[in-house]
Structures are given as C-alpha cells and as structure tokens.
C-alpha cells in the first residue's frame, strides 16, 4: 500500500488541506492519506490551540465518506502525557505498524516544508521517508532546494519534479492553488462571516454549534 501522513494543526481543517490531499492522492495513486492532527504543536504554543478532540472531530467529519482519506489519532495528547510530539517520532511510530511492502510518504505544504530546518532533528526527519511537497499561494516552491541540509544531498542529477536525497526523495506537486488558511477561517468565523466553500459543510456546522472560534482573541490577531 502507498500511504501518506498529512500532519497539521487542522484548526480547523479546510478545503486547501483537502485539495492538497486529493491532488497527492491522484498524482501518486495513494491508497490512504492519514490526517494527523498535532497534539501539542511545538511551533504554535504562542496562541491557544483548539482542543485535540474538536480538531480531530472536524478532521473526521471532513474525511467521512471521502475515499482514501482517514483521520488519525497518532498524535493524540492522551497517548503522550502532554509532551510535545515531533514528526520524526510520529513517522517512526507509523513505520512500526506498516507492512514490509507498504510505502510511506509525508505530505506537507511548501510553507511548512520551508520551516523544516527549525523542526526537531531535520536530518533524521528527511532521511525517514519520502516527502510530497504541495504548492501554496504566496510561498515559493523553488526555494526548497536551498533549505535542504547539505549532508543529505545526493549526486543524482536534478529531476524536474523530484529532488533525490541520500536515502529519500522529495516530490514536488505544483498544481495546488488554494488560497485559504485556518487563520483566515478563524478570523472570519469570529466575525460571524460565512464559511461556505472554505470548509466542508459538516465542519462549518460543527464550528457553529460548538461556537469554537467566537473568542475575542481570534477576532483580533489570528
């Protein structure tokens, strides 16, 4: 099986995440894409992140009845005693439950990929599995070469949509053009604006019912 892990805060999941997942699914014939909401996101401690249970519930609603997409509790904080969890640990944990002929990809947007040098153990992370990097408006996919740790680069000639590292490959998927972010959705929601078309309708209904983004903090800054 070809399986991708798609990590994120998903606060909330939105149609940009779904476009990225669908594009990767069809380009790489993925059997499964696991959406992995982060438990305690190491990069986002500056603001209050919505409870894991709510973010997971919204991911589950968005994946419901969509072929190949599934929610994952791999980073459920209840399993990690509230400790921060790093992507490299999640990938290692996932490897342990994979069959020998499974192939794992890590799906990620270009904005997040450009941040990888600041993540925990980037070299081990990039050594651990293949990556699929999707385009995102406002971020230059051409920059990803420059952030790759020199030690990982291989002597292979550069491919158009693939960078071969010493053990893994980074695949570039440049067709995604979804100008949408969770920050913007939180802001719209706090102002009482419609979320139609930005998140699946069951997710919009859930946000409304649970009044998730109504706090003043969301209306101001995020």
Residues 10-49 that bind ligand ATP (CB under 6 A): 10-11, 16-17, 20
Residues 111-170 that bind ligand ATP (CB under 6 A): 111-112, 134, 136
List 34, 85, 168, 181, residue binding ligand ATP (CB under 6 A)? 181
Q: Which residue is nearest to ligand ATP (CB)?
A: 109
Q: Which residues pair with 103 in a beta bridge?
A: 2
> Which of these ranges, 26-34, 151-159, 173-181, 195-203, lies near ligand ATP under the rule CB under 6 A?
173-181
CA distance 194 to 155: 50
> Which of these ranges, 93-101, 107-115, 140-148, 206-214, lies near ligand ATP under the rule CB under 6 A?
107-115
List 36, 91, 108, 203, residue binding ligand ATP (CB under 6 A)? 108
Strands of 2-8's sheet, edge to edge? 69-71, 32-37, 2-8, 103-109, 130-134, 169-173, 162-164
Residue closer to ligand ATP by CB (options 58, 165) is 58
DSSP character at residue 34: E
Q: Which of 46, 104, 112, 45 is nearest to 74 (CA)?
A: 104
Q: How far apart are the first and last CA of the chain?
A: 38
Q: Which two tokens stand for residue 219?
A: 């209306």
Task: Please give the C-alpha separations between residue 63 and each of 23, 90, 94, 140, 152, in angstroms, as whole numbers.
Answer: 15, 20, 20, 28, 35
109 is an interface residue for ligand ATP by CB under 6 A? yes
- In the complex, the smallest distance separating the C-beta of residue 76 from ligand ATP, rounded to whole angstroms, is 16
Q: Which residues bind ligand ATP (CB under 6 A)?
A: 8-11, 16-17, 20, 108-109, 111-112, 134, 136, 176, 178, 180-183
């Amino acid at each position: 099986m070809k399986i991708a892990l798609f990590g994120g805060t998903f606060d909330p999941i939105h149609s940009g995440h779904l476009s990225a997942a669908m594009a990767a699914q069809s380009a790489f014939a993925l059997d499964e894409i696991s959406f992995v909401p982060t438990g305690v996101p190491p990069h986002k401690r500056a603001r209050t992140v919505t409870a894991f249970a709510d973010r997971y519930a919204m991911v589950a609603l968005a994946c419901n009845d969509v072929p190949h997409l599934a929610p994952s509790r791999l980073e459920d904080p209840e399993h990690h005693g509230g400790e921060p969890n790093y992507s490299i640990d999640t990938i290692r944990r996932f490897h342990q439950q994979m069959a020998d002929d499974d192939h794992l990809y890590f799906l990620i947007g270009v904005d997040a990929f450009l941040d990888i040098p600041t993540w925990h153990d980037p070299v081990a992370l990039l050594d651990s599995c293949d990556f699929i990097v999707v385009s995102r408006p406002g971020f230059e996919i051409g920059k990803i070469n420059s952030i790759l740790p020199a030690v990982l680069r291989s002597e292979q000639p550069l491919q158009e949509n693939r960078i071969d590292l010493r053990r893994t490959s980074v695949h570039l998927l440049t067709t995604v053009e979804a100008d949408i972010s969770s920050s913007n959705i939180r802001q719209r929601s706090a102002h009482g604006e419609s979320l139609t078309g930005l998140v699946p309708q069951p997710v919009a209904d859930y946000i409304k019912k649970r009044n998730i983004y109504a706090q003043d903090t969301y209306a101001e800054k995020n």
